[in-house]
């Protein structure tokens, strides 16, 4: 099996690894060159502990193939799902640009018009996916790329769906997903639908407009309690100059009105 710690310079399937772009709980993303088509791709290689779970692999392949059928200008295109010497990988469109996370943390809060344009494009992408019954489940600034032309590209479509439906814990008992952006029902091991993406998009818009997160619990348990039970602050509570309509929009995106029925169902 190829070691994941030394893939730069190696060939995985038809892809020559150029450099590492980033890594997280769901694997390492590399910049690579497709040898056959002579084009750059982003290659996501899954971590070994996930590659050992047969149930995960079956769902992962099925969902990734379904997401490969998505064709939208604001969604990163998936080219191929494959294996090489025991490694599972996804080859996808390489986007020249930077993540929304990087933009926020370099410059703080964004202007209203800029933030709303980013959200508009992201929402268009999510609507297209939801129309095909595909839920992202891990919307956050880290998974939203802005290319050099200002176009939004949502990454990792369907990858979170492939594992969050099975369990909310990894082999090391860490939450899958990023807790600050997760919808309340994701903490409750409940069925997740398109509303979870809308909630996460609302948190992202809140952060873009304020430079802050709505909930900032010091521990995972405290953060989970806040997300599930507490009302997030409104934009106008933080800044009275914010338009009432804009404040209401963000509040509605993060609304918990459907949770009462969810709790009843779980009971």
Q: Which CATH superfamily is domain 4-93 in?
A: Phosphorylase Kinase; domain 1 (3.30.200.20)
Stretch(es) of the chain classified as CATH 1.10.510.10 = 97-266
pLDDT tens, residue by residue, 23-64: 776 678 999 999 999 999 999 888 777 777 787 777 777 778
What confidence tens digit (pLDDT) does each residue in 172-207 have?
334 445 789 999 888 887 778 899 999 999 999 999
Evaluate if residue 142 carries a pLDDT over 60.
yes
Catalytic residue among 138, 156, 218, 265: 138
Q: Is 197 a catalytic residue?
A: no
pLDDT tens for 256-266 read 865 544 444 44
pLDDT surpasses 70 at 150:
yes
Q: Give CA angle at 64 (169, 195), nearest 5°.
A: 60
Q: Look up the CATH architecture of domain 97-266.
A: Orthogonal Bundle (1.10)
Q: What is the pairing mode between strands 87-93 and 152-154?
A: unpaired
**CA separation for the pair 93, 21 (Å, rounded):** 13
Percent of the chain with pLDDT over 90: 54
Angle at 198 between CA 223 and CA 250, to 5 degrees: 75
List, for residues 100-132, the tens digit of each pLDDT value: 999 999 988 999 999 999 999 999 999 999 999
| CATH 3.30.200.20 intervals, the chain | 4-93
């Amino acid at each position: 099996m190829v070691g994941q710690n030394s893939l730069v310079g190696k060939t995985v399937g038809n892809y020559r690894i150029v450099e590492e772009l980033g890594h997280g709980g769901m694997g390492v993303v590399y910049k690579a060159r497709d040898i056959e088509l002579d084009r750059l791709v982003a290659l996501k290689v899954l971590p070994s502990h996930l590659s050992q779970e047969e149930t995960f692999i079956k769902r992962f392949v099925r969902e990734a193939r379904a997401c490969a059928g998505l064709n939208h200008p604001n969604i990163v295109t998936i080219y191929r799902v494959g294996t090489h010497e025991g490694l599972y990988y996804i080859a996808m469109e390489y986007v020249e640009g930077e993540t929304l996370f990087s933009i926020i943390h370099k410059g703080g809060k964004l202007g209203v018009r800029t933030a709303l344009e980013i959200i508009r494009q992201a929402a268009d992408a999510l609507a297209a996916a939801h129309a095909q019954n595909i839920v992202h489940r891990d919307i956050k600034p880290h998974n939203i790329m802005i290319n050099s032309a200002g176009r939004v590209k949502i990454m990792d479509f369907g990858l979170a769906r492939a594992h969050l439906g099975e369990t909310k814990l990894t082999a090391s008992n860490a939450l899958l997903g990023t807790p600050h952006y997760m919808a309340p029902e994701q903490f409750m091991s409940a069925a997740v639908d398109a509303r979870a993406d809308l909630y996460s998009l609302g948190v992202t818009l809140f952060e873009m407009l304020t430079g802050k997160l709505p909930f900032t619990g010091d521990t995972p348990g405290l953060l989970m309690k806040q997300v599930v039970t507490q009302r997030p602050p409104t934009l106008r509570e933080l800044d009275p100059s914010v338009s009432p309509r804009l404040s209401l929009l963000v509040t509605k995106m993060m609304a918990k009105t459907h949770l009462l029925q969810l709790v009843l169902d779980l009971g």
